[in-house]
Amino acid sequence: MTYQTIYPYTNEVLATFEDATELDLETALTNGHLLYKKWRKNDLLAQRKEQLQQIAQLLRRDIDYYAEVLTKDMGKLFTEAKGEIALCADIADYYAEKAETFLKPRKLEEVHGQAYYVKQATGVLIAVEPWNFPFYQIMRVFAPNFMVGNPIILKHASICPKSAQAFEELVTEANVETGAFKNLFLSYDLVGKAIADPRVVGVCLTGSERGGASIAQVAGANLKKTSMELGGNDAFIILEDADFDLLAETILFARLYNAGQVCTSSKRFIVVGKENYQRFVELVVEKFKSAKWGDPMDPITTLAPLSSAAAKKQVLEQIQLAKEHGATIVYGNEAIDHPGNFVMPTVLTNITKDNPIYNQEIFGPVASIYQVDSEEEAIELANDSSYGLGGTVFSKDLTHAKAVAEKIETGMTFINSGWASHPELPFGGIKNSGYGRELSELGFDTFVNEHLVFVP
């Protein structure tokens, strides 16, 4: 039994779940495939629209209930969990509203004869999701594919089983047909079997490079399409004319939101110019000092525990590794005397290229700050990473900031703000941060069959 809710604030085991059996998987595959066939005959789009809107309403009605499930599973602040549930409701509404437009047949111009393509469902998908946004990660995949007509079988992270179960209950409460969404507490072995099954047409994964590579390998061996949202080591470039008042408002969200456990949170701060560098280090230290660790259910807490004891151990080891290889710990890293998985917000400087931490993602409340002498150097340093997820450019000159943004080798760059995710904005990266996009129309199209109809 590997699926457990262990409350990160107390490390108490709150719930334990039995692993799914082969029979559970077979039932889910049968139900999913039957429903795909039914939707293929009669797409029932209007019915699905109503059901997805109902899901949005239930999320808004029961926001406190769902938010507490998330907090108890992986420790995030209750206030942030509420934000996540609200965003899930928005994503559901967005796809309910937009699907008809997205699914309209597209006429191809300048062809010999008549040609158009229709976007059609392809079949059952396996969604392998991480714990850091236990509902949002599911909704990003479920909402578009539900409207497309692709049923989902979920394999959620083993540390957030209550969230997986609550999502299934939510879908059931909205009277969605059996087979449209099924959570299974699958072993890795059964995930592999599911991917190999001919009724499964694709896999989407959000998680680590290690997890992504092993799933992509199985999928590749079975010729199944994949979409991968992996880690990041996002650069946050502070140009010489950056607005420090706005920076002061942005820093805590950019780095400490979700205790720093966001794939696209700003992890490497790159400051152009010595004076700005000094000023920025002081600003980050001052802001980090104001973070208040404590009970994640308490609204005055601003720093949550990390999601597990293992996550805390890993972050502390990475800080140590950075230090052993010459980095300076300017602030933080003191032990917190509490059974929860807390790590003090920490600021690292003097990270040289030969420091192993230079190209490691730190999934916790740790900011690495670099000083460079020119914009070109900043861009070069930002791009000198095996990751390519997101990034930020800070400058008062928007035109200039946009030009710099376009030189950053990532899937997303945000100007004068930390990271962002909205239903209508595509989300995803390049290089070892993965491939494919979620959300927006691009995410909607990931697992559709663009079916050509041609009259010569």
Catalytic residues: 229, 263
Instruction: Answer for the pair 382, 268: CB distance below 8 angstroms, yes or no.
Output: yes
Q: Find all residues with CB under 8 Å of 243, minimum gap 6, and list them.
A: 394, 396, 416
Of 155, 149, 147, the residue nearest 126 (C-alpha)? 155
**Residue 238 forms beta bridges with which residues?**
271, 394
Q: Which two tokens stand for residue 261?
A: 């456990």
* 195 interacts with ligand NDP by CB under 6 A: no
Residue choice 166, 230, 322, 357 for contact with ligand NDP (CB under 6 A): 230
Residue choice 8, 32, 123, 130 for contact with ligand NDP (CB under 6 A): 130
Site for ligand NDP in 321-360 (CB under 6 A): none
* Three-class DSSP category at 269: strand
Q: How far apart are CA 96 and CA 54, in angstroms?
A: 10
**Residue 119 forms beta bridges with which residues?**
450
Could you tell me the smallest distance in angstroms from the CB atom of residue 232 to ligand NDP?
A: 6
Strands (E), 62-173: 106-107, 114-120, 124-128, 152-155
* 135 interacts with ligand NDP by CB under 6 A: no
* 158 interacts with ligand NDP by CB under 6 A: yes
DSSP assignment string, 356-367 = GGGG----SSEE
* 207 interacts with ligand NDP by CB under 6 A: yes
Cross-sheet strand order for the sheet of 124-128 = 181-183, 152-155, 124-128, 200-206, 225-229, 434-435
Of 360, 256, 343, the residue nearest 308 (C-alpha)? 343
* 215 interacts with ligand NDP by CB under 6 A: yes
User: Which of these ranges, 27-35, 39-47, 206-214, 242-250, lies near ligand NDP under the rule CB under 6 A?
Assistant: 206-214
Q: How far apart are CA 147 and CA 270, in angstroms?
A: 42
Could you tell me the smallest distance in angstroms from the CB atom of residue 392 to ligand NDP?
A: 16
Could you tell me the smallest distance in angstroms from the CB atom of residue 131 to ligand NDP?
A: 6
Site map 248..287 versus ligand NDP, x via CB under 6 A? ---------------x------------------------
Residue choice 102, 117, 188, 435 for contact with ligand NDP (CB under 6 A): 188
**Residue 370 forms beta bridges with which residues?**
270
The amino acid sitting at 288 is F
Q: Which two tokens stand for residue 309?
A: 């004891």
Nearer to ligand NDP, 71 or 371 (CB): 71
DSSP assigned state of 305: P
The amino acid sitting at 408 is I
Could you tell me the smallest distance in angstroms from the CB atom of residue 161 to ligand NDP?
A: 10
User: How many helices (H) does the chain have, and how many strands (E)?
Assistant: 14, 20
Could you tell me the smallest distance in angstroms from the CB atom of residue 354 to ligand NDP?
A: 23
Cα 194 versus chain centre, distance: 23
Could you tell me the smallest distance in angstroms from the CB atom of residue 452 to ligand NDP?
A: 31
Nearer to ligand NDP, 371 or 413 (CB): 413
Could you tell me the smallest distance in angstroms from the CB atom of residue 361 to ligand NDP?
A: 6
* 214 interacts with ligand NDP by CB under 6 A: yes
Nearer to ligand NDP, 48 or 255 (CB): 255
Residue choice 229, 273, 345, 365 for contact with ligand NDP (CB under 6 A): 229
Residue choice 94, 277, 363, 444 for contact with ligand NDP (CB under 6 A): 363
Nearer to ligand NDP, 75 or 231 (CB): 231
Instruction: Answer for the pair 46, 52: CB distance below 8 angstroms, yes or no.
Output: no
* 162 interacts with ligand NDP by CB under 6 A: no
* 216 interacts with ligand NDP by CB under 6 A: no
Of 188, 169, 162, the residue nearest 74 (C-alpha)? 162
* 435 interacts with ligand NDP by CB under 6 A: no
Cα 244 versus chain centre, distance: 28
User: Which of these ranges, 13-21, 119-127, 226-234, 276-284, lies near ligand NDP under the rule CB under 6 A?
Assistant: 226-234
Could you tell me the smallest distance in angstroms from the CB atom of residue 329 to ligand NDP?
A: 23
Residue choice 29, 35, 67, 128 for contact with ligand NDP (CB under 6 A): 128
Q: How far apart are CA 136 and CA 327, in angstroms?
A: 35
Count residues binding ligand NDP (CB under 6 A). Answer: 26
User: Which of these ranges, 111-119, 153-161, 196-204, 445-453, lies near ligand NDP under the rule CB under 6 A?
Assistant: 153-161
Task: Classify strands 266-272 and 328-331 as parallel, antiparallel or unpaired.
Answer: unpaired
Q: Which residues bind ligand NDP (CB under 6 A)?
A: 128-132, 155-158, 188, 191, 206-208, 211, 214-215, 229-232, 263, 361, 363, 389, 434
